[in-house]
């Protein structure tokens, strides 16, 4: 009899736990003091390099930031990061998935393959895939190549390649900032490995990706106004200069080696 009572107790406690779990499904995620969902923060802490060595799958998913919203204050304020990631990047993901809904044969292809094959996609979604697929890819790279522990100068193979191509790191920074400042309107400034295997500084308009031109993006800075305007207003040059304080050089080195 005591055994049966214990078993009944375990069953009832298990049912209670299950009912509690179901009831909590609609409760919003608890927020950390800095405003980032705890689940997102935990995933970021355990998976800081989630998108380095594989192409982005579709249906697309918004990747978590690998740090807190306010972690990059040396260059970018927390509110900009929150809006940039949670609103702008999320919109690219949603718009891309919506565009692919009517084309089952395209679902499951990587974002990169869609952008490389853009001219062969159905006419009615080419612009949407270009803008939103590019936006998703560009921003996924962007979050990863920044770090609260970033800054300084590169080391390793990427440092040697920069020196060989641009003379020294200071000259590279100057040329990179100049290209970012000269980009008219919205766009990006990039360090890429071009089709000949050489490093090159280039820029793209809107959310165009370098891979559309057969280039591999090693690092890039977002010069859309939404990336910097809350803190810097129209002072893009100041944003470009401060951005070097958060560049994640180990990640850039990893991308350089992947491009090799």
Give the integer Cα–Cα distance in Å for 224 and 149: 24
Give the integer Cα–Cα distance in Å for 165 and 122: 40
Q: Tokens standing for 166?
A: 């641009």
Please check whether residue 181 lies inside any domain of the structure. yes
The model's pLDDT over 160-182, given as tens digits with 9 standing for 90+, comes to: 999 999 999 999 999 999 999 99
The model's pLDDT over 205-240, given as tens digits with 9 standing for 90+, comes to: 999 999 999 999 999 999 999 999 999 999 999 999
Please check whether residue 39 lies inside any domain of the structure. no
Average pLDDT of the chain to the nearest whole number: 85
Count: domains in the chain: 1
Please check whether residue 136 lies inside any domain of the structure. yes
Give the integer Cα–Cα distance in Å for 54 and 71: 26
Complete DSSP assignment for 146-208: B-TT--S---HHHHHHHHHHHSSHHHHHHHHHHHHHHS-SSEEEEEEE-TTS-EEEEEEETT-
Please check whether residue 129 lies inside any domain of the structure. yes
Report residue 6's pLDDT band, with 50, 70 and 90 as the boundaries: very low
The model's pLDDT over 93-103, given as tens digits with 9 standing for 90+, comes to: 999 999 999 99
Axis crossing angle, helix 169-182 with helix 236-243, rounded to the nearest 10: 150
- Inform me whether the pLDDT recorded for 251 exceeds 90: yes
Q: Which residues, 6+ apart, have CB-to-CB distance to 117 below 8 Å?
A: none
Q: Are 223 and 188 in contact (CB under 8 A)?
A: yes
CATH number at residue 179: 3.55.40.20
Please check whether residue 18 lies inside any domain of the structure. no
Summarize the confidence of residues 144-152 as an average pLDDT: 98
Please check whether residue 134 lies inside any domain of the structure. yes
Please check whether residue 254 lies inside any domain of the structure. yes
Please check whether residue 3 lies inside any domain of the structure. no
- Inform me whether the pLDDT recorded for 40 exceeds 50: no
Domain limits at 195?
72-260
Range of lowest pLDDT (10-14, 101-105, 136-140, 191-195): 10-14
């Amino acid at each position: 009899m005591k055994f049966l009572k214990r078993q009944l107790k375990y069953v009832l406690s298990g049912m209670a736990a299950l009912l509690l779990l179901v009831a909590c499904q609609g409760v919003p995620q608890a927020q950390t003091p800095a405003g980032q969902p705890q689940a997102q923060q935990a995933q970021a802490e355990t998976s800081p390099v989630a998108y380095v060595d594989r192409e982005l799958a579709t249906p697309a998913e918004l990747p978590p930031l690998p740090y807190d919203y306010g972690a990059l204050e040396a260059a970018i304020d927390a509110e900009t990061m929150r809006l940039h990631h949670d609103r702008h990047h999320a919109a690219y993901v949603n718009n891309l998935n919506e565009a692919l809904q009517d084309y089952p044969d395209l679902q499951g292809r990587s974002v990169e393959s869609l952008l490389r094959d853009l001219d062969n996609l159905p006419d009615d979604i080419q612009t949407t895939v270009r803008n939103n697929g590019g936006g998703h890819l560009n921003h996924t790279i962007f979050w990863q190549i920044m770090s609260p522990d970033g800054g300084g100068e590169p080391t390793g193979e990427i440092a040697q390649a920069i020196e060989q191509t641009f003379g020294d790191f200071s000259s590279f920074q100057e040329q990179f900032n100049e290209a970012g400042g000269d980009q008219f309107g919205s766009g990006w400034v990039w360090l890429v490995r071009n089709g000949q295997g050489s490093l090159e500084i280039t820029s793209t308009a809107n959310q165009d990706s370098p891979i559309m031109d057969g280039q591999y993006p090693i690092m890039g800075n977002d010069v859309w106004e939404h990336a910097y305007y809350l803190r810097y207003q129209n002072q893009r040059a100041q944003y470009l200069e401060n951005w070097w304080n958060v560049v994640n050089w180990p990640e850039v080195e990893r991308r350089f080696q992947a491009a090799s």
